[in-house]
Structure 1
Amino acid sequence: MTKNQKAAIFNSIYLIIFFSIAALSMQVFSILVFSLGVIFVVELFSKFFMKFLKMPKKFAILISILIIFISLIFLLVFLIPTVIGEVSNFINFLNGIFEKQEWRELFPEKFDDIEKNVTEFLITLRPKIISFINDALIQMPNLGGKIGSFIFYLVLITIYGSFYFDSFKLKAGNLFPKSIRNTSISFLKDLYVNLKSFVISTLFAALFVGIGAFIIMNILGVKYSLLMSFWAALTNFIPIVGVIFEFIPLILVGISSGLTKMLILLLIMIILHTSAFIFFLYVMKGSARINPVAVIISILIFGYIFGFVGPIIAVPIGISIKVFWKHFVSPTFERS
């Protein structure tokens, strides 16, 4: 057995152990995954402070953690309650749109067939949208205790993980026998760079789209700007598929504002997404990128396996598989 094959076996065992946590407790698995993502962001901020503001390392990490958790407190105390408060009004708004079928006014008489198809599609979509929103509201009280526990451990792991992450990276090689240590470290370094690039690019793309949507909707005077912009940011964490879920309520809200405003809104949202995608490609330059078809299949499979967290971690899992293939499987196939 070659060193590469031995390293593949060891790394496979550790990856299987990590993902088997989900079978024992999905909440624990979610905490670990999201904590790792936040640690990546803390590391990015701290390096920025160290490089440009010449801060000592530990102080830079501390400031980065404070910035992130102040943002989290703002999200939990001010933003999310306001968004939830808009949901009930939004349901009544949607019911009014479906009952009046306001979209019919957007189609001239010569486009009757298109109008009929759109009407049938939206009428079919109505119960699914209302059911999704109602189910989310019903689950809110049950999630209260879990969210508190989730945030507590997320904060705890992020704080300790951020201060000891460099130490962990240095000692990660001790998890492997000396004969395959360098091969395994090379894989872990490549995986770390790729996952970090994906997390950072996705986070900033989501913030860019969400903030941009909020500004544009307020300028245009489109209703439910906070709810829609929050939804736009949230769905951007799900590549490709999330954009579809984002645009459906945006179109419905845009209909009530008139054809002109709706078209302007959609055009600007397309520009925002294009800009975010260019930024994503720039950050991911040289990193492992997943084929769009593979992304959709990954979201479908891991969404079924891991539930709510599945679509969010589908691409990172796909990246992990691709990097694993590049380091261990491909060289074996290419041997003469």
Structure 2
Amino acid sequence: MFDVFSRWYKDRFSDPHAVTLGILLLFGFGIIYFFGSLLAPLLAAIVIAYLLDWPVNSLQKYGINRTGAVIFVMLGFVGVAVLAVLGLLPTVFKQGANFVRELPYMLNQAQGYLLTLPEQYPEMIDAEMVSTLMDNVRNKLISSGEAIVSFSLGSLINIAALLIYCILVPLLVFFMLKDKVVLMQSVTRFLPENRQLAGQVWTEMNSQIINYIRGKVVEILIVGIVSYVVFAVLDLRYSALLAVLVGLSVLIPFIGAAAVTVPVALVGMFQWGFTSDFWYLMIAYGVIQALDGNVLVPVLFSEAVNLHPVSIIVAVLVFGGIWGFWGIFFAIPLATLVKAVVNAWPSDKATQQAA
């Protein structure tokens, strides 16, 4: 057993560049795992800086110095963010509160329909099972809704922290964009000399992360706006709230779309019953999801490494379980990182062939 482990170790860690890459990966994952909650503003700032670096570089091509370009882009970003928050959040919050209040009535209506199923299919569905299921769902949703709409001292503390982050994050983004070269050089000074393999993986991943963040933000905006227009045309209640949920659902591949289908269908059934309007809503929602998965995603992420759906779902479950929201957001880039490291990691056989 020891000989097998020894041969494996020599085969995989004979290259000092590979050892450096392994140490850097363990250090990075360890920092995020143990201090991820403390570094949340920094992670948010890095994501926004990746997003805004492209317009800054574009302005520099027109002869504007980097500081001026950064100031111009930051003013535009902050202005758009403030308008979006002031225009969208109050409506979404109001609709969310109304949705929570009417949720028990929606569940009662859904239960009434489900209780008719045992009469139609007595051999397959049991009435007691349906009642128990609906009671459990009702209790879970109502308790979650009450937690959302109720304000406690802890909520006020979270709001205060959020206000602080609203100041810290833009400052971090400004200096990350303005002093990008200086910060990168400062970080490079502390890295080991044998970092050729790490540099190769970072070059590939840097391009992947840039494309992923930009594409994901554009996808959220397009899916959210299109969903709102469709819901508003159909005169669906809670259209803004549901559109925001549908837009954010693209953060979780496959699982997000399936999860958001439940509130969309529940609101439509509560508002119209099983009429033609309800089926129009579900068909339109299905078309949006189909266009997103088969047209929008291939266009936006055409340069992304092809990953199997099983790999994506496993990445969402693993990294989401470890790092929460940020793990879900970066699940695909992290899965791509794992794939890039596995492909780039040298073996003793590869070294011998190269020699």
Structure-2 residue corresponding to 1:131? 143
Q: TM-score w.r.t. structure 2 length?
A: 0.79
Letter aligned with residue 21 of structure 2: N
Distance 1:287 1:320, change over 3 A: same
Q: Based on CA coordinates, which of the two structures has the bigger radius of gyration?
A: 2
Distance in 2 (CA, whole Å) between partners of 1:318 and 1:223 is 38
Q: Does 1:146 align with 2:161?
A: yes
Question: Which moves more between the two structures, 138-147 or 201-210?
Answer: 138-147
Structure-1 residue corresponding to 2:268? 254
Letter aligned with residue 152 of structure 1: I
Does the CA-based 8 Å contact 2:66-2:178 persist in structure 1? Answer: no
Distance in 2 (CA, whole Å) between partners of 1:21 and 1:156 is 22
CA deviation string 1:173-208 (max 9, x = no partner):
544444x34433222111101111111111111111
Structure-1 residue corresponding to 2:31? 21
Structure-1 residue corresponding to 2:3? none
Distance in 2 (CA, whole Å) between partners of 1:319 and 1:202 is 15
Distance in 2 (CA, whole Å) between partners of 1:321 and 1:16 is 12
Distance 1:186 1:112, change over 3 A: same
Does the CA-based 8 Å contact 1:87-1:227 persist in structure 2? Answer: yes
Structure-2 residue corresponding to 1:241? 255
Distance in 2 (CA, whole Å) between partners of 1:122 and 1:165 is 54
Distance in 2 (CA, whole Å) between partners of 1:103 and 1:191 is 52
Structure-2 residue corresponding to 1:263? 279
Letter aligned with residue 228 of structure 1: L
CA RMSD between the two structures: 3.3
Does the CA-based 8 Å contact 1:37-1:199 persist in structure 2? Answer: yes
Where in structure 2 are there 5+ consecutive unaligned residues? 1-9
Structure-1 residue corresponding to 2:177? 162
Task: Give 1 or 2: higher helix fraction.
Answer: 1
Q: Does 1:84 align with 2:93?
A: yes
Does the CA-based 8 Å contact 2:18-2:197 persist in structure 1? Answer: no
Structure-1 residue corresponding to 2:51? 41
Other structure's SS at 2:83 match: helix
1:263 Cα offset (Å) = 2.4
Other structure's SS at 2:323 match: helix
1:324 Cα offset (Å) = 1.9
Does the CA-based 8 Å contact 1:222-1:254 persist in structure 2? Answer: yes
Does the CA-based 8 Å contact 1:27-1:150 persist in structure 2? Answer: no
- 2:312 aligned residue (295, 307, 310): 295
Letter aligned with residue 171 of structure 2: L
Other structure's SS at 1:27 match: coil
Structure-2 residue corresponding to 1:185? 199
Distance in 2 (CA, whole Å) between partners of 1:9 and 1:149 is 40
Q: Does 1:198 align with 2:212?
A: yes
Percent identity, aligned pairs only, is 16
CA deviation string 1:231-262 (max 9, x = no partner):
11222222222112221111111113333223
Does the CA-based 8 Å contact 2:20-2:195 persist in structure 1? Answer: no
Does the CA-based 8 Å contact 1:295-1:315 persist in structure 2? Answer: yes
Letter aligned with residue 185 of structure 1: G
Distance 1:152 1:13, change over 3 A: farther
Letter aligned with residue 29 of structure 1: L
Higher relative contact order (CA 8 A, sep 6+): 2
Distance in 2 (CA, whole Å) between partners of 1:199 and 1:21 is 22
Structure-1 residue corresponding to 2:4? none
Distance in 1 (CA, whole Å) between partners of 2:134 and 2:65 is 57
